[in-house]
Amino acid sequence: MTAAVLLENIYKFYNQVPVVNDVSFTIETGEIFALLGPNGAGKSTTIRMLTTLTKPSQGRIKVGGYDIVSQSMLAKQCIGVVLQQISVDRDLTVWENMELHGRLHHIANPQRQLKINQWLEYVELADRRNDLVKTLSGGMKRRLQIARALLHQPQILFLDEPTVGLDPQTRRRLWEIIRDLNKQGMTILLTTHYMDEVEYLCDAFGSDKPGRIGIMDSGKLISLGTLQQLRSAHGEGLVMKQLGVNEAEGDGARRWEYLFFPTLEQANIYLEQQPNKTGMMVRPSNLEDIFVELTGRQLD
């Protein structure tokens, strides 16, 4: 089976500086894939290349089996894109935004109207179809962006920070929509700054196959795998030790030392062996622990 997304030895230079540096990975059809990285890691540039907004300096990218440089029009027909910035027209109604997008994709009637109704129902906006977009909440606008991105039935959906700035209830509703789309067979790539979002969307529960997580830093892909694979590689048990004032490295430094162990049991054994357990605790490791261990930074 042809990979839905393929990157081979991708470089992107700005002023002769590589902001993406020899990145290679594939995303299989029907997979959900999260791309993480601190600011400046290169993930936004990678997304821009995958969505044909900028060309790679070196290497090869295929999306839906099409080369994004030589077959960009065919690649664009395979993808739906939901950007972090609200990109729907505020002065048009919900239906007018969908109608415009459908016409730009040359979807003929009556199929266009059927699809508009179908996706507005799916994102629970059918009752707001005649409302101006500027009257919608932030979560409704984001759901409209998703409906619009799905109107032309893309094979692959790119989501750039899909829930940034939204309240917890709205975030959860969008997670459910994303998970459901993936269960229906849609390939999804998302970037996010929320670790709980990645753990929810890429974890195995409720899914036959867990999603994978790629971590970028300084333009390079430094780790790749499922959440369980990353935890197994770095340690499933964690001992946290609170540092004293003299041990911490300055005012903004971390106040905790993290010690990884292959299992939670081994972490507990280590703790029991300590003569002074003051300021120490054991817990299972999570994605944020692994991210900070790999990059030395927390996501902003």
Question: Taking the model in full, what pTM does it have?
Answer: 0.88
Residue 27: is its pLDDT beyond 50? yes
Mean pLDDT, range 52-58, rounded to an integer = 95
What is the pLDDT at residue 252? Answer: 45
Cα separation, 37 vs 275, in Å, equals 38
Mean pLDDT, range 245-251, rounded to an integer = 54
Query: pLDDT digits over 142-196, tens only?
Result: 999 999 999 999 999 999 988 888 888 888 999 999 999 999 999 999 998 889 9
Q: Using 50, 70 and 90 to split pLDDT, how confident is the model at 112? A: very high
Residue 247: is its pLDDT beyond 90? no
What is the pLDDT at residue 20? Answer: 96
Q: Are 148 and 156 in contact (CB under 8 A)?
A: no
Percent of the chain with pLDDT over 70: 93
Q: Using 50, 70 and 90 to split pLDDT, how confident is the model at 251? A: very low
Which tokens go with 150?
């799905």
What is the pLDDT at residue 300? Answer: 46
Residue 296: is its pLDDT beyond 90? no
For domain 5-232, give its CATH number from 3.40.50.300, 3.40.50.10320, 1.10.10.10, 3.90.105.10: 3.40.50.300
Indicate the domain borders of the chain.
Answer: 5-232, 236-284
